[in-house]
Structure 1
């Protein structure tokens, strides 16, 4: 996959200490990864790079919303996305990104691309079940919800059946033996 240049951070000219970078993540960022589950994206990303003598520490803090479809009604809504991610970049003989919290880049490198870490952080911050807030508080007026309620089992019949438990007549005969003494 081709690297997006805007997410490549050159660190050679930076002094030892903390450096801040700000990014706006939009839907085009996810289209680059061919990820099509988001209708719209508006996420603000703050990257803190702490340069040390032998390594680089990155902290990604993001906050915003992602427009997705509800799993129940398929209605689009804005899902809030908030999170952070920390990882370390060290220098070694060859490139190695097998460890999720440690990136090893070759000696002599002068920049690091963080687009994969941004992508994974935001996608993993999404809830596994996406439910429209209107479904949870009952304010959403949707044809699909009406149809689901229409097809759901009738709760009143189940309540009446549970109020009068039916017993086996053989047990009733045995109970009568106890009271006839």
Structure 2
């Protein structure tokens, strides 16, 4: 996958200590990863780089909202998303990103691209079930919700209870046998 240049951080000219970078993420960032769950995105990302003589420690802190479809009604709404993620970049013989919290880059590297860590931390911060706030508090009016209410198992139980009252009297004596045990 092609790297986005804006998320490549050149660390070779930075002094030892903490350095801060700020980014604004939108839908285009997620389209780069071919992730189409978000209709729109407005996320503020704060990257804190703590440079030491042997390693680089990154802390990603993000907050904002993404426009997604509700899992129940398919209505669009803005889902708040926030979180943080820490990972370490060390120097080694060759590039290795097998460990999710540790990135090893070759000696002599002068920059590191953090776009994959940003993408994964935001997508994993999303709730597993996306439910419109109007569904939770009962204020959303939707044809889909009305149909779900109509077809709910509770309605089926009420219909079967009505049928039980209107049974054929010839079967009543057999029902007594079941309760005599």
TM over 0.5: yes
Q: Distance in 2 between matches of 1:106 and 1:15?
A: 20
- Structure-1 residue corresponding to 2:34: 34
Runs of 5+ in structure 2 lacking a partner? 163-174
Which residue of the partner structure matches residue 119 of structure 1?
119
Residue 169 of structure 1 is aligned with which of 167, 171, 176? 176
Q: Distance in 2 between matches of 1:136 and 1:122?
A: 24
Aligned length: 171
1 CA distance for matches of 2:44 and 2:107?
32
Partner of 2:106: 106
Report matched runs for 1:142-153 at 5 Å: 142-153=142-153
| 1:20-169 equivalence runs, <5 A | 20-153=20-153, 154=155, 157=158, 169=176
Cα deviation 1:38-97 (Å, max 9, x = unaligned) = 000000000000000100000000000110000100000011101100000000010000
Q: Measured at CA, do residues 157 and 14 of structure 1 come closer, stay the same or move farther in structure 2, by a change above 3 Å? A: same
Q: Output the CA distance in 1 between the equivalents of 2:69 and 2:121.
A: 20
**Off by >4 Å, runs of 4+ in structure 1:** 170-174
Once residues 179 and 109 of structure 2 are traced to their aligned partners in structure 1, the CA distance between those partners, rounded to angstroms, is 85
RMSD of the alignment, in Å?
2.2
Give the Cα separation in 1 of the matches to 2:135 and 2:156.
Answer: 19
- Give the Å deviation of 1:169: 3.5
Q: What is the rounded CA distance, in whole Å, between the counterparts of 1:8 and 1:17 in structure 2?
A: 19
Structure 1, unaligned runs of 5 or more: 162-167, 175-181
Partner secondary structure for residue 2 of structure 1: coil
Q: TM-score, normalised by structure 2?
A: 0.87
